[in-house]
Amino acid sequence: MAMGSMVEHMEFLKRLTENVIEASRIRPGANLAAQSTGERLLKNGAPLINETGIVLIRPGGLHNYPSFWIRDFAMSLECGLIDADEVKPLLLLTASRQNGSDEIMFDAARIPPFAVPDHINLDGKPVFYPGTYSSGTDQGGGRWGVYPPYCDHYYFIVMAYEYVKQSGDLSILAHAINGYSLLDRIQAAYEVPWQDYENGIVWTEADMRAVNFGFVDSVIQTGHLLFSTILKYRTSHMLITLYESALQSSEAEWPEQTERAGILERLDTLREQIKLLEQHVPQVFDNGDGWLKAATGISGQADVWGTCYAIYTGLLRGEPRQAALEVIRDSYLNGSTSCKGNVRHVPTTAEYSAASCWESSWTTKNTYQNGAYWGTPVGWYAYALNEIEPELCQRFVQEYISELKAGDYRITGGEGSPWECFHPEHAYRQGPVYLTSVAVPYGVIKQIHELNTG
């Protein structure tokens, strides 16, 4: 692909991402029920008037998910197209809805101290589990887990890191929300997911399960968990940066000597965690063929998203990294992991059975998270291809852009690309005008372009 073509692709993707971000905004007082897709939204029981007093950004436009999702928003920030002034109130909103220092017991679920919500409704009330807009005690349990999803705790840290990185505002780290500084809150969130103390890896068990990652919340995964562990690795680096910045900052008015000692101790712990994860993740999640498996218990299938993300974050090194790059390249060439520039969770060659990609999922095969193709991981997949064979990366990005252009919602006049996910079987499509399907890839593809152009 010629350099001019890549520049044109980047401009197209940037404009599309900006448009999708705008379509995803809900301004104070806005009533989603009054929109053309309001009738479909009314059926899901979610509050539809933004009563928070701030602009919320939901996971997409039209009739997508009428709530503020911590995960989707934080993942989208790397695109660099959401201003810090817009991030700050959403960061503080999330901090204010984080659980306090006491565990809360729901009907069939438990909210541990300092747990982070999965999403926040338009009335400002937190919801700690997928699959519902109820902010009452009936949320959670069953297929959604006893404990809240692990990934949101790490994405809260991502949100804080991206805000400070963009704004340079270190004073927010000392800002107190309901009696705890933001820095203490994100540290407490980091410590919520269970971990194996011998290797630092995040884990869960069947009878007290937590969802590993929101983009596989319809899949039962147990044992050691790959994706949340990679998030822990990445946010360990982010916390180190924030702590080091806090120590050097007079603006944040820290620290007193006792606080300084505590921060230095936390830094030592974080550095040790990074070493443990770099050492043990390739061993614990080795699938024997270059892929990393998603979990060591139930649904331990080869994880395309997780393997690509482990490369992108720098967690995989040496021989395991090279083996992963080779299997990603080969899977692209044999067509087992991508379709029209979008990526599925499990290779078609590594499915659990003829009936399901995963060992345990309550969605039909080749729909949603059980075999459909997604835009969200496109950047990580492209990054891996670029590391081993840049020409394949260019070809893959071309396929991704071509699909977006062919289905562009701005041209179709409503529902259209970027889709949350799709599959050619039965022309399956879900979630039009979906934010992370463009915002996450744009942030990474922009980095690839910068790497390749020096």
What mean pLDDT is predicted for residues 124-147?
97
Instruction: Show the domain range for 12.
Output: 1-35+289-454
Q: Is the pLDDT of residue 256 over 80?
A: no
Q: pLDDT for 385-411, tens place per residue?
A: 999 999 999 999 999 999 999 999 999
On whether both 265 and 352 belong to a single domain, the answer is no
Task: Clarify whether residues 320 and 417 are in a common domain.
Answer: yes
Q: Return the pLDDT at 63.
A: 84
Residue 49 covered by a domain: no
Final residue before a domain boundary, out of 284, 317, 350: 284
Position 50 in a domain = no
Say whether pLDDT at 109 is over 90: yes
Residues 112, 228, single domain; the answer is yes
* Contact indicator for 192, 114 with CB cutoff of 8 Å: yes
Evaluate if residue 250 carries a pLDDT over 80: no
Give the other-Cβ count within 10 Å of 142's Cβ.
11
Tell me, yes or no, whether 202 and 72 share the same domain. yes
Q: Residue 33 CB: number of other CB atoms within 10 A?
A: 14
Whether residue 82 is contained in a domain is answered as: yes
Q: What is the CA radius of gyration of the chain?
A: 21
Is residue 57, in this structure, part of any structural domain at all? no
- Note the pLDDT of residue 80: 98
Tally helices (H) and strands (E) across the chain: 14, 16
Q: Is the pLDDT score of 237 beyond 90?
A: yes
Range 280-297 average pLDDT: 98
**pLDDT grade for 44, boundaries at 50, 70 and 90:** confident
- The rounded distance, in Å, linking the Cα atoms of 192 and 60 is 28
Secondary structure of residue 179 in the 3-state scheme? coil
pLDDT at 3: 46
Considering the domain architecture, whether residues 359 and 257 belong to the same structural domain is answered as no
The percentage of residues in the chain with a pLDDT greater than 90, rounded to a whole number, is: 89
CA distances from 204 to 228, 243, 425 (A): 11, 28, 34
Left if phi > 0, otherwise alpha if psi is -120 to 50, otherwise beta: which for 453? alpha
Under the banding of pLDDT at 50, 70 and 90, the label for residue 257 is low
Same domain, 317 and 241: no
pLDDT above 90: residue 420: yes
CB burial of 323-359 (b: ≥16 within 10 Å; e: otherwise) equals bbbebbbbbbeeebbbbbbbbbbbbeebbbeeebbbb
Q: What is the CATH number of the domain that holds 149?
A: 1.50.10.10
Q: Look at residue 192 in the predicted model and tell me its pLDDT.
A: 98
Sheet holding 119-120, edge to edge: 68-69, 119-120, 126-127
Say whether pLDDT at 165 is over 80.
Answer: yes
> In this model, does residue 265 exceed pLDDT 70?
yes
- Any domain includes 338: yes
Looking at the structure, tell me whether residues 225 and 315 fall in a common domain. no
Residue 43 lies in a domain: no
Report the distance separating Cα 216 and Cα 54, nearest Å.
Answer: 29
Q: How many structural domains compose the chain? A: 2
- Please give the pLDDT value at position 37: 67
Half-sphere exposure of 294 (CA within 13 A, CB side): 28
**What is the helix (H) or strand (E) element at residue 105, kind and residue range?**
strand 104-105
DSSP secondary structure of 375-433: STTHHHHHHHHHHH-HHHHHHHHHHHHHHHHHHBHHHHTSS-BSPSEEETGGGEEE-SS
| 42: confidence class by pLDDT, cuts 50, 70, 90 | confident
3-state helix, strand, coil in the chain (%, to 5): 50, 10, 40
More confident residue, 343 or 253: 343
The answer to whether residue 61 is domain-embedded is no
Q: Which pLDDT tens digit goes with each residue over 166-205? A: 999 999 998 999 999 999 999 999 999 999 999 999 999 9
Report the C-alpha gap between 436 and 451 in whole angstroms. 22
Boundary (domain end) residue, out of 284, 301, 332: 284
At residue 64, the pLDDT reads 85
pLDDT of residue 337: 98
DSSP codes joined into one string, 183-248? HHHHHHHHTSS-B-TTT--BEE-GGG-B-S-GGGTTB---EEBHHHHHHHHHHHHHHHHHHHHHHH
Report H helices in 285-363: 304-312, 318-333
Does one domain contain both 244 and 308?
no
Grade residue 382 by pLDDT with cuts at 50, 70 and 90.
Answer: very high
Residue 138 above 90 pLDDT? yes
**Is the same domain home to 270 and 300?**
no
The answer to which of 253-262, 295-304, 376-385, 396-405 has the lowest mean pLDDT is 253-262
Do 87 and 194 lie in one domain? The reply is yes
Which H or E run contains 284? helix 257-284
Evaluate whether residue 293 is within a structural domain.
yes
| Cβ count near 364 (within 10 Å) | 15
Whether 422 shows a pLDDT value over 90: the answer reads yes
Domain boundary among 284, 317, 336: 284
Cα–Cα dist 427/134, whole Å:
32
pLDDT, one tens digit per residue, over 62-80 is 888 999 999 999 999 999 9
**The pair of three-digit structure tokens given for residue 115, joined into one six-digit string:** 């747990």
Q: At residue 251, does pLDDT exceed 90? A: no
Q: What is the mean pLDDT of the chain?
A: 94
Q: Are residues 123 and 255 in the same domain?
A: yes
Q: Are residues 226 and 303 in the same domain?
A: no
Percentage of residues of the chain with pLDDT beyond 70: 96
